[in-house]
Amino acid sequence: MDPQPVTLRHISCSNTHTHIIHMASRTRLLWIRSRDHPGVYTAYLTRGVLMSLIVQKFGGSSVADAESIKRVARRVANTRKAGHDVVVVVSAMGDTTDELLDLAAEVTSAVTPSRELDMLLTAGERISMAALAMAINDIGVQAKSFTGSQAGMITDGVHGAARLVEVKPDRIRESLEAGNIAIVAGFQGMNRQSRDITTLGRGGSDTTAVALAAALNADVCEIYSDVDGVFTADPRIVPTAHKLNTVTSEEMLEMAANGAKILHLRSVEYARRFNLKLHVRSSFSELEGTIVIPENSAELTPTHLKEIPLEQPLISGVAHDRGQAKITVVGVPDVPGSAARVFGLINEAKINIDMIVQNVSTDRPNVTDISFTLDQAHGPLALQALEKAQAEIGFEEVIYNEAVGKLSLVGAGMKTNPGVSFTFFEALSNAGVNVEMISTSEIRISVITELSKLDDAVRAVHTAFALDTEGEATVYGGTGR
Ligand code: ASP
Ligand code: MG
């Protein structure tokens, strides 16, 4: 069979050949037709083993101080020395972003997303990228750092929550070709129209990493944090939680959307869209982490296939979220159009809502109560909008409650298992947890509970689904801030 010609990203590194011979028996080969000598073919390994391009993202706790930066520098340099091209994305050191926000609060009365706030916050990543580049150069391996805009992260103009509109990492490619490790500041970009610097929203460095990995056609995107991977629950609350070896991107999306902070939600969406495999692992250990598998991947390699269990486990984990608030609009006239008016206002204010419950009031005729949940950050805005329209809609009052928590049970296996909801609600009831609201999807059940009961609820559900292990999960760093 005549091998199909292919274009490789690049073939460099002369010592690659020795590796190829060494590893050929274990991996797939790629045949390249020689340009200069027609008819001559060379076998190369497919992407993923040798001369691969790896994107590594290090979160704030992994680069919290000089020692940590040096540790990460050694790790990155070792990846490079093993023959891979490496692009590194860094978050700001430790709690720098929070500290910068505190600083903003000291110099201005209202800290709202703005051009200047983005200028301030992006400084955090600029410190860590330069320090890491210096530390790597110090080991004798070439590294260069780039801001988001230098790396071609082009966004819309929404300060504080910018979305990527284009990723053009030309300078990163050039830098790799020149033999450098390229270090990119996470969480930031630039808007072409205003030429201003933007940020992607808290936790956005994951999205920077995934977007770069997709644009550079990287073989894998490794997300390094202070835990060994994705756990069945937050190890800070459930020490008996266990690490998942694999999780589908569908399940990971549900977990991230429902409060699991291990990955930025948008990074999971992005990876899924581009069929990119993520490896979530710890920068403090050499352990294999969790592989997030794009389940619709047309490009699943034999290794991927081995990673997907034949039968999905029932449950992949319990996620929780303390950042929600509940609004109850009391005494809404029970006539067609009331709900539309309430949610029309919320929509006009561009506020995302999550769960909704409407209860016909039993003691008062012809009125109803509508409750919904939203991000605490949007609470004041929603209240304002509703209070302004009180007379027009004709409701009695609005109750706002931030002392609520959301618990979500996620698992692809629950689609086909009718016993799941029973076990779930029984566990909550045995733990004395009152359920205020419920919502479900094909692979998730979520409830709103009293905030003070949330941790107990997480532990109870985790235990009820036999997710506990003997060992204690290690949390290596981070302040959890
Ligand atoms: N430093 C930013 C934050 O703390 C971005 C990130 O860590 O991903 O939100
Ligand atoms: Mg951070």
pLDDT tens-digit map of 292-330: 998 765 444 444 444 555 555 689 999 999 999 999 999
pLDDT greater than 90 at residue 418: no
Instruction: Report the nearest atom of ligand 1 relative to the CA of 200.
Output: 5
CA distance 169 to 403: 44
pLDDT at 300: 44
Q: How far is the CA of 91 from the centre of ligand 2 (A)?
A: 6
Residue of higher predicted confidence among 20 and 475: 475
Q: Tell me which of 187, 224, 265 to substitute to probe ligand 1's pocket, judged by most ligand atoms within 8 Å of the beta carbon.
A: 187
Instruction: Report the nearest atom of ligand 1 relative to the CA of 95.
Output: 4
Residues lining ligand 1, Cβ inside 6 A:
59-60, 91-92, 97, 124, 186-187, 202-205
| 30 — pLDDT class (breaks 50, 70, 90) | low
Q: Whose CA is nearest to atom 6 of ligand 1?
A: 203
Q: Are 399 and 330 in contact (CB under 8 A)?
A: yes
| 15 — pLDDT class (breaks 50, 70, 90) | very low
Contacts 24+ apart (CB under 8 A), 28-32: 28/301, 28/302, 30/6, 31/3, 31/4, 31/6, 32/5, 32/6, 32/8
Ligand nearest, relative to CA of residue 97: 1
Q: Whose CA is nearest to atom 5 of ligand 1?
A: 203
pLDDT greater than 90 at residue 269: yes
**C-alpha of 215 from chain center:** 18
Q: How far is the CA of 334 from the centre of ligand 1 (A)?
A: 45
β partners of residue 469: none
pLDDT in tens, 188-235: 999 999 999 999 999 999 999 999 999 999 999 999 998 999 999 999
pLDDT at 475: 80
Q: What is the pTM of this model?
A: 0.82
Write the CB contacts of 374 (distance below 8 Å, at least 6 apart in sequence).
Answer: 324, 325, 327, 346, 351, 352, 353, 354, 382
pLDDT greater than 70 at residue 289: yes
Residues with CB under 5 A from ligand 2 (ion): 60, 91
Q: How far is the CA of 101 from the centre of ligand 2 (A)?
A: 12
Q: Are 206 and 212 in contact (CB under 8 A)?
A: no
Q: How far is the CA of 187 from the centre of ligand 1 (A)?
A: 6
Q: Whose CA is nearest to atom 8 of ligand 1?
A: 203
CA distance 307 to 290: 10
Instruction: Report the nearest atom of ligand 1 relative to the CA of 59.
Output: 7
| 463 — pLDDT class (breaks 50, 70, 90) | very high
Q: How far is the CA of 373 from the centre of ligand 1 (A)?
A: 25
Ligand nearest, relative to CA of residue 263: 1
Q: How many Cα atoms occupy the beta-carbon half-sphere of 428 within 13 Å?
A: 25
Instruction: Report the nearest atom of ligand 1 relative to the CA of 60.
Output: 7
Work out whether strand 397-401 and strand 324-333 pair parallel, antiparallel, or are unpaired.
antiparallel
CA distance 101 to 126: 16
Neighbours of 360 (CB within 10 A): 11
For 21, 74, 277, 452, the CA distances from 16, given in Å and listed in that order, are 9, 22, 24, 57
Instruction: Report the nearest atom of ligand 1 relative to the CA of 187.
Output: 5
Of the candidates 268, 272, 266, 276, the one whose C-alpha atom is nearest the C-alpha of residue 158 is 266
| 478 — pLDDT class (breaks 50, 70, 90) | low
Q: Are 374 and 325 in contact (CB under 8 A)?
A: yes
Q: Are 386 and 339 in contact (CB under 8 A)?
A: no
Q: Are 23 and 8 in contact (CB under 8 A)?
A: no
pLDDT greater than 60 at residue 465: yes
Contacts 24+ apart (CB under 8 A), 447-453: 447/406, 447/407, 447/408, 448/324, 448/326, 448/355, 448/373, 448/404, 448/405, 448/406, 449/404, 449/405, 449/406, 449/407, 450/403, 450/404, 450/405, 451/322, 451/402, 451/403, 451/404, 451/405, 452/403, 453/405
What is the pLDDT of the chain when averaged over all its residues? 87
| Start-to-end C-alpha separation, the chain | 58
Q: Tell me which of 62, 89, 97 to substitute to probe ligand 1's pocket, judged by most ligand atoms within 8 Å of the beta carbon.
A: 97
pLDDT at 473: 76
Instruction: Report the nearest atom of ligand 1 relative to the CA of 206.
Output: 8
Q: How far is the CA of 335 from the centre of ligand 1 (A)?
A: 46
| 41 — pLDDT class (breaks 50, 70, 90) | low
Q: Whose CA is nearest to atom 9 of ligand 1?
A: 202
Q: How far is the CA of 91 from the centre of ligand 1 (A)?
A: 5
Q: Are 459 and 449 in contact (CB under 8 A)?
A: no
Give residue 102's region: left, alpha or beta (phi > 0; psi -120 to 50).
alpha
Take residue 15 and report the two structure tokens written for it: 């010592």
CA distance 28 to 138: 36
DSSP string, 155-195: E-S-TTS--EEEE--HHHHHHHHTTPEEEEETTEEEETTT-
Q: How far is the CA of 187 from the centre of ligand 2 (A)?
A: 9
Of the candidates 223, 219, 217, the one whose C-alpha atom is nearest the C-alpha of residue 203 is 223
∠ CA 207-212-217, nearest 5°, is 130
Q: How far is the CA of 461 from the centre of ligand 2 (A)?
A: 29
Containing 54, the helix (H) or strand (E) segment is strand 53-58
Q: Tell me which of 205, 208, 212 to substitute to probe ligand 1's pocket, judged by most ligand atoms within 8 Å of the beta carbon.
A: 205
Take residue 159 and report the two structure tokens written for it: 């300060």
CA distance 212 to 392: 49
Amino acid letter, residue 428: L
